[in-house]
Amino acid sequence: MKAVEFETTMTQEGQIHLPVEFLTDIPSGQHLKVVVMWESESADSSFRATGRMRFEEAYCAEDSVYEKLLNEAPAL
């Protein structure tokens, strides 16, 4: 199986534009498998929140010494 990857947009009519450079790569009449992916803002914020929570779970009281050192560091 061959594959091409490109970014495009969907029109208001529901059509997806195939870039001209791929028109000669895909033989006419071939059966195609199409996978459509897009960025989901809610998935991104959920992913970030989960990452932040996991990061903070690993933080312990002994780690506060690093914050103290950072706050007491002389300005250069």
- Is residue 26 in some structural domain? no
**Identity of residue 11:** T
CA–CA distance, 71 with 63 (Å, rounded to integer) = 13
> If you ran DSSP here, which 8-state letter would residue 54 be given?
H
Q: Which residues pair with 10 in a beta bridge?
A: 16
pLDDT of residue 66: 79
- Is residue 23 in some structural domain? no
pTM over 0.85: no
Closest CA to 19 of 2, 6, 10, 3: 6
**Identity of residue 22:** F
16 SS3 class: strand
pLDDT tens, N- to C-terminus, the chain (76 residues) = 888 888 898 899 999 988 898 888 888 898 999 898 887 666 677 778 888 888 888 877 787 787 788 777 676 6
Write out the residue range of the structural domain in which residue 46 sits: 38-76
Domain count for the chain, please give it.
1
